[in-house]
Amino acid sequence: MRTRLRWPALAAAAVLLVAGCGSEGDGSSDERNAPAATTGCASSGELTMWERSGGNKQMVDMLVEAWNAKNADCRIKLTYIPHTEMVGKIAQGIASGEVPDLMGMDLIYAPQFEKAQQLVDLTGRIKDWPELKTASKGHMTVATYEEKLYGVPLYADVSALFYNKDLFERAGLDPAKPPTSLPQLREYADKITALGGDVKGYYLPGNCAGCNIFTVGPLMWASGATIEAKDKGDEPLVGDGVKQVLQFTRDMVKAGNVHDGDRTENGETFHLQFGSGKVGMMGTGNFNITLAREQNPKMKFGVALLPGMTPGSSASFIGGDLVVVPRGSERVADAVNVMKFLLSDEVQVEVYAKALNLTTRSDMVDNRYFQAEPLVQDVAKALEVGRTPYTLTFFEQINSPQGPWLKMLQRAYYSDDPIDTIIADAKKAMKDIAGQS
Amino acid sequence: MRARRGYLVGAVCVAICAVMLMPLLMSVLASVKPTAEAAATPPTYLPHSVSLDSYQRLWSYQQGLPTYLWNSLGTALLTIALTLLLTVPAAYALARFPIPGKEVVFVVLLLALIVPYQAMLTPMFLMFADLGLTNSLFGLAILHTAIQLPFSLYILRNSFGAVPRELAEAAIVDGASSWQALVRIFLPSTVPAIVTVALFAFIMSWNEFLGALVMMSKGSKFTLPLILAAARTETSLGGTDWGMLQAGITISIVPCVLVYLLLQRYYVSGLMSGATK
Amino acid sequence: MGVAAKPVEAAVYRSRRAGLVGLAYLAPALAFVLVFTVYPLGRMMWMSLHNWSLLTPPVYVGFDNYERVFRDRQFWVSFLFTLKYTALITPVLIVGGYLLALLTAHNSPLRKVTRTVVFVPVVIGLGVSSLLWYWLFSADFGLVNRALVDLGVVSGPVLWLGVDADTSNFAISASVVWKVIGFGMILFVGAIQAVPTEITEATLVDGAGYWQRVTRVILPLTLRTVLLVTLLSVIGSLLAFDQFYIMTAGQPQNETATSVFYVYLNSFPYLKLGYGAALSMVLAVTILAFTVVQLLLARRSEV
């Protein structure tokens, strides 16, 4: 019985040891002889690809379709994995050797997998690509670990401040002048809430860690603070901006500027909120442009940058997915070709931009589709002031529904605990988590 | 007085039926709302117009609803077959034969009912990967059977034990072997319990989520519960597609209710008699 | 299965050879259980003595994980919440189920239909039922709040799920009661119908009222079933997972994360497989203890 129990563990350990040895890995041994990447097939046969659900599914479907239209010989067969289970699924896949040929992954989890040597090192194959010079810097930061490259952007989401021009007008505000600082935002929110009815000036998601890092995190960045603890010993939540923003949100809630129901928002109906027409201003993402139009075609709205405490300050969260290659994949060359395809001029314009999604290369922002759509251009500006958090424990620190980030915000929004205590508690918890990584 | 009491009881019965059926009815109604209305806040009680939008989206979702229905159905049928093949002889044995240490066997099986199987899923997955059983309906059916076995065995053993001794004796006197007795005497007598076991196995397998999630990594092998989970995070940034969710709920419910209504006769009596021991 | 049976039983079922024949019938199930239940169980016990994140090899830590379990605040939060949930839902299920059984024990057509209808939620699957009620209890999109507001019972949406542990407990319990009460009801109906009519007739002659008849005659004679259903109900509630995973995902702050939910969190998203296994073992032993206590109490009451 003992041998039986030990064997699979030994086998797993052996596989991982061998895999971790670097020089034996799939990527690096033929890096020097790697063929130049093309946007076609490197070998024939179906490519299996995983992608998390809950992301920009339409975008990914379109990209896969575009690839399949051009490369019938190595079509991609896409499987969506429920996003809450993605990390576990990948780990299981790698441990059992049943990995897809390539996969899309929420970019903030990349560092964790890179550190654990679970992604194929692609540096030799892609580092000289000119496209990477202008690829989303948020994505490329998290795609890099210890100077090695592991992937390229699959799609980009960016957060911004959406505001309802109709409500602005009704409240006597100038619809061409969105707020440029948090105190000004508060002023405007008060005026809009005063309109009464079921209308509120602002929105704060109460039960969704990810929504908050996406839309409230940038408020702190814009106010000069930092949030995550990168690694062991790092100090999280540094800067007065943290306290100021928490106070700002608490005051917002107390002033009655948000709907009661916001408190239950767990991310699943976040995308429906702005389009309801009942919210004056809301931090949300570029995807909300087409969504709001579909939901509420008559509503006039604008897009601005998320502000900080001081006028003119702004920041944004660059999110989205990376495309990476899991260790054990047998079609690395093909995967790399897919990456080249995604970054190619034609795909950037005719697939990304045409669908009014952000191009993952900043030099492709000036295209005919965007020129016809001022809102998308506004949102694309957010890329310039945007950043992506880098930490090996993003999920436990920030994205987890039970983590210290959401807890801190919930206490700030809905309780009367002293803000300094709230911040101190969160700092301690985040530091502990980072220390265990 | 009696008559009034009768009316009161009748009214209460009707009220209870209404309360029990209302949620299901509302879900079915919501599934035929047009997409925008399904996502409206506040929600409408009855659909303002009928549309099959949500069903269309569900039908053509990724690999297509038929694939997922087939996977769920195939797994459920395999689970029923495997469960019955294993537990009928085993229940026969435990109920009628002097097996050494059989109480121990029985207790061990019941213990399996108590251990939460969630933590066992990952080691089972690794084992199945070694055996090549992942991404297969048969592999998932094995998992479902393992989960369902203790409960099925309990029900069947009670039922086998309840067969009157005289009946079995009569067959033996006629020169039947234990196998023939099983087939000719015991099986007909335990049909209600067998149907109960089959129905529970079907319901469990049809609705099981976590095991299916762990065992299947190819979209073409996903089962219906996995698609329902997907409907919850279907639109951008993890938004719920309410219409598609309702359609999925409706589709999930229909086979279970149908099978139940058809087999009710056996099944209810199976529960009422077999489990009270 | 009475002990006072016929003194001579057919050789087929009594001979020494019979034991082996029985074993042969048992063998397939036994083999299956050894491979697919006992082995993973053993593997899980082995895992509980290690730290293993799947991405790195397992590391032996002895009983560390078990020690951690008892020092883990979240374990106690989960355990206490699970107990709270069990304590809330069990009486409702038993009393409610029994009352429904009394209501429908007669075999008149209307009552048979009622029985059938009440049982329908039992066959639909806990996951689907949880999704259904997740929708109904949704603060902005659900019908419960819409109805409450329309009836004037509340002025604004009630935040049923994920904001307050007690409210969530109530909402989830309501949904589970809807789903499983039929199961208890059917078992109780079976037991009530098994009460010999002579006994009930006798009490009628004595001039006993309906409720007296119930409490003095029917209840004691169906006690065994009541205890059985209670036992099954308690075990099921202590092992509750699906409904919490779907309806609140453990929110707020893991306050509605039941014990098994916590096992799931460690085994999957947190990738702490060894710790999850240890939690599982501790849970299993706890439930076993509960079960033994209940069985002992049951046995005592049968005298």
Residue whose C-alpha is closest to residue B245's, from B84, B30, B18: B30
Q: What is the pLDDT of residue A20?
A: 38
Which residue in C138, C253, C264, C267 has the most chain A C-beta atoms within 10 A of its own C-beta, making it the best mutation to test that interface?
A: C253
In the predicted model, what is the mean pLDDT of chain C? 85
* SS3 label, residue A322: strand
* CA atoms of A248 and A240, how far apart (whole Å): 12
Q: What is the pLDDT of residue B183?
A: 80
Q: How far is CA A189 from the centre of its chain?
A: 27
A101 and B CB contact within 8 Å: no
CATH code, domain with C203: 1.10.3720.10
For residues A104-111, average pLDDT: 89
Tell me if C67 is assigned to some domain: no
Which residues, other chains included, contact C227 with Cβ-Cβ below 8 Å and sequence gap of 6+?
Answer: C294, C297, C298, C301
> What chains are in contact with C, requiring at least 3 Cβ pairs below 8 Å?
A, B
> What chains are in contact with B, requiring at least 3 Cβ pairs below 8 Å?
A, C
- One domain for residues C273 and C138: yes
* CA atoms of A246 and A237, how far apart (whole Å): 12
Tell me if C63 is assigned to some domain: no
pLDDT for A178 beyond 90: yes
Decide if A270 contacts B237 (C-beta within 8 A). Answer: yes
Is pLDDT larger for residue C295 or for residue A416?
A: A416
* CA atoms of C247 and C171, how far apart (whole Å): 9
**Residue C112 DSSP symbol:** H
- pLDDT band, residue C7 (cuts 50/70/90): very low
Tell me if B42 is assigned to some domain: no
Decide if A161 contacts A287 (C-beta within 8 A). Answer: no
Which residue range forms the structural domain that includes residue B126? 62-234
**Is C231 exposed, middle or buried, given 0-12, 13-18 or 19+ CB atoms closer than 10 A?**
middle
Lowest mean pLDDT among A80-84, B51-55, B252-256: A80-84
B87 and C CB contact within 8 Å: yes
* CA atoms of A28 and A7, how far apart (whole Å): 29
- Among B135, B219, B240, select the one facing A80 at the smallest CB separation: B219
B240 and A CB contact within 8 Å: yes
Tell me if C147 is assigned to some domain: yes
CA distances from A344 to A200, A205, C208 (A): 43, 37, 88
Q: How far apart are the first and last CA of chain A?
A: 33
Q: What is the pLDDT of residue A323?
A: 95
Q: What is the pLDDT of residue A293?
A: 87
Tell me if C275 is assigned to some domain: yes
- pLDDT band, residue C4 (cuts 50/70/90): very low
Lowest mean pLDDT among A154-163, B196-205, C112-121, C209-218: C209-218
E strands, chain B, are none
Note the maximum CA span of chain B.
73
Strand bridging mode C50-51 / C59-60:
antiparallel
Dihedral over Cα of B243, B244, B246, B247: its sign: positive
- One domain for residues C33 and C108: no
- One domain for residues C40 and C144: no
Tell me if B38 is assigned to some domain: no
Both tokens of residue A78? 């896409």
- One domain for residues C109 and C154: yes
- pLDDT band, residue C234 (cuts 50/70/90): very high
Global pTM exceeds 0.80: yes
Tell me if C65 is assigned to some domain: no
E strands, A62-150, are 76-81, 102-106, 144-145, 148-149
Q: Which residues on C lie below 8 Å from A9 (Cβ)?
A: 57-58
- One domain for residues C112 and C254: yes
Tell me if C192 is assigned to some domain: yes
Per the listing, tokens 């699959």 go with A154
* CA atoms of B105 and B99, how far apart (whole Å): 10
**Model confidence over A67-78: pLDDT tens digits?**
999 988 899 999
Which residue range forms the structural domain that includes residue C136? 74-302
- One domain for residues C35 and C93: no
Interface size B-C, in CB pairs within 8 Å, comes to 270
Tell me if B74 is assigned to some domain: yes
* CA atoms of A296 and A164, how far apart (whole Å): 11
Per the listing, tokens 């592999």 go with B139
Which residue in C34, C35, C54, C56 has the most chain A C-beta atoms within 10 A of its own C-beta, making it the best mutation to test that interface?
A: C54
CB-based contact A98 B219, cutoff 8 Å: no
Decide if A400 contacts A108 (C-beta within 8 A). Answer: no
**Model confidence over B69-90: pLDDT tens digits?**
999 999 999 999 999 999 999 9
* CA atoms of B131 and B113, how far apart (whole Å): 25
Q: Helices (H) and strands (E) in chain C — how many of each?
A: 16, 2
Angle value at C-alpha A181, between A178 and A182, nearest 5 degrees: 105
Which residue in B53, B216, B217, B241 has the most chain A C-beta atoms within 10 A of its own C-beta, making it the best mutation to test that interface?
A: B217
- One domain for residues C42 and C148: no
Q: Which residues on C lie below 8 Å from B119 (Cβ)?
A: 44, 47, 263, 266-267, 273, 276-277, 279-280
CA distances from A87 to A14, A232, A327, C54, C268 (A): 22, 22, 14, 11, 8
A6 and B CB contact within 8 Å: no
- One domain for residues C178 and C42: no
Angle value at C-alpha A327, between A324 and A332, nearest 5 degrees: 60
Q: Which residues on C lie below 8 Å from A264 (Cβ)?
A: 138-140, 159-163
**Is A176 exposed, middle or buried, given 0-12, 13-18 or 19+ CB atoms closer than 10 A?**
exposed
Q: What is the pLDDT of residue B228?
A: 84
Question: Which residues numbered 153-172 in A keep a CB inside 8 Å of some CB on B?
Answer: 157
Number of domains in chain B: 1
Note the ipTM here. 0.86
Strongest mean pLDDT among A73-82, A299-308, A381-390, B30-39: A299-308
Tell me if B256 is assigned to some domain: no
Tell me if C91 is assigned to some domain: yes
Tell me if B155 is assigned to some domain: yes
* CA atoms of B184 and B176, how far apart (whole Å): 9
Q: Which residues of A328-362 are buried (b: 16+ CB within 10 A; e: fewer)?
A: bbebbbbbbbbbbbbbbeebbbebbbebbbbbbbb
- One domain for residues C34 and C100: no
- pLDDT band, residue A409 (cuts 50/70/90): very high
Per the listing, tokens 């997907």 go with B230
- One domain for residues C32 and C156: no
Q: Which residues on B lie below 8 Å from C111 (Cβ)?
A: 13
Which residues, other chains included, contact B104 with Cβ-Cβ below 8 Å and sequence gap of 6+?
Answer: none
Angle value at C-alpha B21, between C234 and C125, nearest 5 degrees: 45
Which residues, other chains included, contact C157 with Cβ-Cβ below 8 Å and sequence gap of 6+?
Answer: A260, A261, C139, C140, C145, C149
Both tokens of residue B68? 């997922």
- One domain for residues C249 and C149: yes
**Model confidence over C16-46: pLDDT tens digits?**
677 778 888 888 988 998 899 888 888 889 9
CATH code, domain with B116: 1.10.3720.10
**Model confidence over B191-219: pLDDT tens digits?**
888 998 999 899 999 999 889 988 888 88
**Model confidence over B146-191: pLDDT tens digits?**
999 988 988 888 888 888 888 777 776 676 677 777 787 788 888 8
For residues A36-63, average pLDDT: 86
Number of domains in chain C: 2
CA distances from A297 to A69, A357, B212 (A): 32, 19, 40
Nearest-CA residue of chain B relative to A289?
B236
Tell me if B222 is assigned to some domain: yes
> Can you spell out the DSSP letters for B225-273?
HHHHHHHHT-BTTTB--HHHHHHHHHHHHHHHHHHHHHHHHHHHHHHHH
**Model confidence over C48-99: pLDDT tens digits?**
999 988 777 889 998 989 999 999 988 999 999 999 999 999 999 999 999 9
- Among A53, A79, A288, select the one facing B217 at the smallest CB separation: A79
- pLDDT band, residue A41 (cuts 50/70/90): confident
H or E segment to which residue A157 belongs: strand A151-164
- One domain for residues C22 and C85: no
Q: How far apart are the first and last CA of chain C?
A: 18
Looking at chain C, the whole-number percentage of residues with pLDDT higher than 90 is: 35
For residues C158-177, average pLDDT: 91
Which residue in C251, C254, C261 has the most chain A C-beta atoms within 10 A of its own C-beta, making it the best mutation to test that interface?
A: C251
